[in-house]
Structure 1
Amino acid sequence: MDSFRRADSVHGPRLSLLAGTGGKGCHRRDLALCEGPALVVRGYLTGRAFIAFWLADGRVLAGMNVNVWDANDNIQHLVRSGSTVERAALADLDVPLDQFTTA
């Protein structure tokens, strides 16, 4: 039963995002084949301090903050603004996150 809970916690957010953004429906075992938003990670997955962004057509559809302080306002602005961002710049820790919100 633990493996099912882990699968749901790992794949649940992506499936929810796919459903909410018009991505083609798919079963969680086929997740690698699903069409939908691209994931951009900013930070350190192994250190469990990162921000995950889901992008479509260069626009941030959603963001998830994991142990990164003082980033929520910038994440919310990016999602609400609908402005386009470059994936590489968004993932780059040397580019200040507030740079994307001051345009």
Structure 2
Amino acid sequence: MEYVGFVKPGGYDQVVFRGDVAAREFIAFWLKDDRVLAGMNVNIWDVIEPIEELIRARTPVDPRALADPDQPLDHLPR
């Protein structure tokens, strides 16, 4: 498990999951106004850099695309 970013309790308006939460293979994203504030990957590796890029970009992303594992993290619709 890896976590990157920072979000205060209540400082987000949604959590988006990508992957299989029940199988404990997923990425969780904390968003505010469709902007990624933080991310946590669980048993999915080599994704911390794209998550950091989403956080640093501070641009809105489509939450449906963020949840879709077929959408590469570094090419999400904005």
TM-score tier by shorter-chain length is: 0.7 to 0.9
TM-score by length of 2: 0.81
Structure 2: gaps (5+ residues): 1-6
Q: Which runs of 5+ in 1 are unaligned?
A: 1-15, 22-35
RMSD of the TM alignment (CA)? 1.7
Rounded Cα–Cα distance in structure 2 between residues aligned with 1:43 and 1:71: 13
Higher strand residue share: 2
Match of 1:29 in 2: none
**What code does the residue aligned with 1:41 have?**
F
The answer on 1:95 being equivalent to 2:71 is: yes
Identify, as 1 or 2, the structure richer in helix. Answer: 1
Deviation at 1:18, TM superposition (A): 1.9
* Rg larger in structure: 1
Indicate yes or no: 2:49 matched with 1:49: no
Higher relative contact order (CA 8 A, sep 6+): 2
1:27-42 alignment, distance < 5 Å = 36-42=12-18
> Which residue of 2 is the match for residue 65 of structure 1?
41
> Aligned pairs, how many?
71
